[in-house]
Structure 1
Amino acid sequence: MQPLTGGAASESILESFLRDLRFERGSSTDTARALHALIDGGFDRLPLPGHGATLERWQILAAVAACDLALVKLFEGHTDALAIMAELGEAHVPERGQAWGVWAAEPPTARLAASAASNANSITLHGTKAWCSGAASITHALVTAWNEKDEPILAAVDLHQPGVRITRDGWMAVGMAASASVDVHFDHARAISIGAPRAYLERAGFWHGGGGIAACWFGAAAAIGEFVKRDAGRRADPYKLAHLGAIDTALSGTASLLREAAARIDREPQSDAMPDAFRVRLAAERSAVAVIERAGRALGAAPLCRDRHFASLMADLPVFIRQSHAERDEAALAERLINGECGTWNL
């Protein structure tokens, strides 16, 4: 299948596919099966960010998020890996059965060491990687590591080899449980270095990917809002309508920021997109919190207890948005403002 570049038409095809997709929400096995179904259907061939169709890319991520957040966590990681490799000159079309992830968390207690091997770009990986989403479900991953010079690098690793041990450790949350974000141990596992040291962090697309995460949060929050909208259409009362109006305001503001950021990325693909990424992530987080609270108050306990889709979104989204760095990102954005690096508030 060709890359999805048809805007609303592509969204419609994907949404139809997702409606017909049968999987049990909350099951890591079924979530993995749904991921591979999306890949096999060619839905992972998204427009690359900064190539003129960033908004369409984010719309597709939002549509998958509206279906299921654990699924989009794996799907976004796979599509992000393909975009990263394309940007760093390692364009890769997955072979049948391949599913990729990006594992870039760097907690101080779980850092990978990379040692040079005999062949050019070949390395071996040693240590533990934390927060490895879909570890038992995917076949390959891009992982951050540190070379002998203590420089950050990115490596591509086949997970189906001796020296890679996927654990069940590191994830106790009920929300997002089906993403199975566990610890993975590497013991002289073979890998290929991707790009130069620091290239992963210094490339323009690093912040483009951050905007894609915001699109996922937005898509899930919008899906929750749709439940309130449908219920208010059947049984309206002044309080429910007030909640719906507040939800609309929150989501509309975030959608506008996402559209604006996507357009700027396409106009200036090599410019520093960090301010835009921080704005859309912070706005998406804030609107998600508002939508979760308003939806719960508008609809009460019934859909939380009797509707699997709604209950999953309401349980998963609070966990997923904690990927935000919250006040730290707000402070970093404020520093850019003070230094005059990211515009003004003019209309």
Structure 2
Amino acid sequence: MPDPKQLAAILEVIAKRPQPLRHDHELQVAMRFCADQGLDVLPQPGKGETLQRWQALALVAAHDLSLAKLYESHTDAIAILQELGGAHLLKSGLWAVWAAEPPQARVRITEDLQGTPLLTGTKAWCSGAAQIDWALLTAWNEQEQPQLVAVDLHQPQVDIGEHGWQAVGMAATASVDVSFEQAPSCLVGAPGEYLSRRGFWHGGGGIAACWYGAASGLALYLKDFCARRQDDVHAQAHLGAVDAALSSAASSLRECAQWIDNNPRQEAQLAVLRVRAQVEQAAEQVLHHVGRGLGATPYCRDARFARLAADLPVFMRQSHAERDLAELGSQIAARASFSWQL
């Protein structure tokens, strides 16, 4: 586990680089720098240090959310390989996890005469495709079962697209389409195991930690403003609302992490759906109050603030909004003994 002070120091070095993290190459350099320093070695979720893992993700997200996207996906890939018995597949370089399954983009698995799995088709929503070396992605075998595979992206059978990503927020991560034409790969785990494993929902909590980190990074701008302008009672009120939202979300994240560590083999969907909803609502409140408290100046004059404020709404759309809330409500309604007693 990287020491938080060491991680903060490394991020400070990255922040002082001549180029901001707004271009593919600079983002890749920053991520490789983190990996070279060993800052991608995080505790496995559900092993007693889930909160420490989430704290590292939040710290990177508070610094730069595009970097956090690569960092979270890279560290998630490492955790998945370890969980599913694929640690021997870990190679040097940067990893990502691509598991989106829109109906118009599906990758198929066949085998060559030697039994090597071959990938053919197009994978959509491949974040960071231009910056990474290896990918864990979901594909479909000949029995129409979903299967996780590991693939080297530096081979001629892989074509990384350049179009389709029009976002202003999270622009540097470029979630483009990647096409495969009989690209050799390695199976990871059994069919369907990517979704059925306990760590799937543990990883979903890590995404909420990134939302929280970015929101806390924005909140610091309002705190600093209020420290200088203590006569601005309206800004102070916005800061109070931000503090209430973030404190509640932080408590929820700590409680969820503790529950996961206490119940590593239990289904964590309910706990994680709840904490994601709580953190998402808190982050939306932070965006609202920070904007109203600070006005236009940081959006227009501060590059880091402007990127973070644009990136966070896009990153949060990894949430499925009312669909996730409906699933949470359905699970609560089905529990006969459930109550909200204090």
**TM-score scaled by length of structure 2:** 0.96
Residue correspondence of structure 1 range 86-101 to structure 2 within 5 A: 86-92=82-88, 94-96=90-92, 98-101=93-96
Paired residue type of 1:31: L
Residue correspondence of structure 1 range 210-249 to structure 2 within 5 A: 210-236=204-230, 237-249=232-244
- Three-state SS of the structure 2 residue aligned to 1:313 is helix
Q: Partner of 2:66 in structure 1?
A: 70
Q: Evaluate the alpha carbon distance shift between residue 324 and residue 147 of structure 1 in structure 2; reply closer, same or farther with a 3 A threshold.
A: same
Q: Partner of 1:276 in structure 2?
A: 271
Q: Evaluate the alpha carbon distance shift between residue 28 and residue 344 of structure 1 in structure 2; reply closer, same or farther with a 3 A threshold.
A: farther
Paired residue type of 2:222: V
- Three-state SS of the structure 2 residue aligned to 1:48 is coil
Paired residue type of 2:21: R
Report the Cα distance in structure 2 between the residues aligned to 1:323 and 1:341, rounded to whole angstroms. 30
Q: Partner of 1:25 in structure 2?
A: 21
Structure 2: gaps of 5 or more residues = none
Tell me the alpha carbon deviations over residues 229-256 of structure 1, each in whole angstroms, 9 at most, x when there is no partner.
Answer: 0110001211001100000111111111
Report the Cα distance in structure 1 between the residues aligned to 2:337 and 2:145, rounded to whole angstroms. 29
Residue correspondence of structure 1 range 5-154 to structure 2 within 5 A: 10-21=3-14, 22=17, 23-92=19-88, 94-96=90-92, 98-119=93-114, 122-154=116-148
- Three-state SS of the structure 2 residue aligned to 1:51 is coil
C-alpha displacement of 1:272: 0.6
1:182 pairs with one of 176, 180, 197: 176
- Three-state SS of the structure 2 residue aligned to 1:20 is helix
C-alpha displacement of 1:111: 0.9
2:326 pairs with one of 325, 328, 331: 331
Paired residue type of 2:100: A
Find out whether 1:318 has 2:313 as its counterpart. yes
C-alpha displacement of 1:94: 4.5
C-alpha displacement of 1:260: 0.5
What is the percent sequence identity of the aligned residues? 52
Report the Cα distance in structure 1 between the residues aligned to 2:199 and 2:338, rounded to whole angstroms. 20
Contact 1:25–1:312 (8 Å) recurs in 2: no
Contact 1:131–1:170 (8 Å) recurs in 2: no
Report the Cα distance in structure 1 between the residues aligned to 2:27 and 2:21, rounded to whole angstroms. 7
Report the Cα distance in structure 1 between the residues aligned to 2:37 and 2:338, rounded to whole angstroms. 42
Q: Partner of 1:309 in structure 2?
A: 304
Contact 2:81–2:89 (8 Å) recurs in 1: no
Tell me the alpha carbon deviations over residues 150-206 of structure 1, each in whole angstroms, 9 at most, x when there is no partner.
Answer: 001000000001210001122101110001111100110010010000011100000
Report the Cα distance in structure 2 between the residues aligned to 1:291 and 1:211, rounded to whole angstroms. 19
Report the Cα distance in structure 2 between the residues aligned to 1:341 and 1:224, rounded to whole angstroms. 41
Report the Cα distance in structure 2 between the residues aligned to 1:288 and 1:32, rounded to whole angstroms. 27
C-alpha displacement of 1:119: 4.3
Report the Cα distance in structure 1 between the residues aligned to 2:158 and 2:201, rounded to whole angstroms. 29
Find out whether 1:202 has 2:196 as its counterpart. yes
1:259 pairs with one of 251, 254, 260: 254
Contact 1:130–1:170 (8 Å) recurs in 2: no
Q: Evaluate the alpha carbon distance shift between residue 339 and residue 229 of structure 1 in structure 2; reply closer, same or farther with a 3 A threshold.
A: same
- Three-state SS of the structure 2 residue aligned to 1:185 is strand
Report the Cα distance in structure 2 between the residues aligned to 1:51 and 1:346, rounded to whole angstroms. 29
Contact 2:81–2:90 (8 Å) recurs in 1: no
C-alpha displacement of 1:216: 0.2
Q: Partner of 1:7 in structure 2?
A: none
C-alpha displacement of 1:117: 3.4
Q: Partner of 2:167 in structure 1?
A: 173
Report the Cα distance in structure 1 between the residues aligned to 2:304 and 2:311, rounded to whole angstroms. 11
Contact 2:117–2:186 (8 Å) recurs in 1: yes
Report the Cα distance in structure 2 between the residues aligned to 1:185 and 1:226, rounded to whole angstroms. 41
Q: Evaluate the alpha carbon distance shift between residue 158 and residue 54 of structure 1 in structure 2; reply closer, same or farther with a 3 A threshold.
A: same
CA RMSD of aligned residues (A): 1.3
More moved, 150-159 vs 26-35: 26-35
Find out whether 1:288 has 2:287 as its counterpart. no
Report the Cα distance in structure 1 between the residues aligned to 2:337 and 2:329, rounded to whole angstroms. 9
Contact 1:25–1:309 (8 Å) recurs in 2: no
Report the Cα distance in structure 2 between the residues aligned to 1:137 and 1:342, rounded to whole angstroms. 48
- Three-state SS of the structure 1 residue aligned to 2:38 is coil
Alignment: residue pair count:
338
Report the Cα distance in structure 1 between the residues aligned to 2:180 and 2:27, rounded to whole angstroms. 25
Contact 1:28–1:177 (8 Å) recurs in 2: no
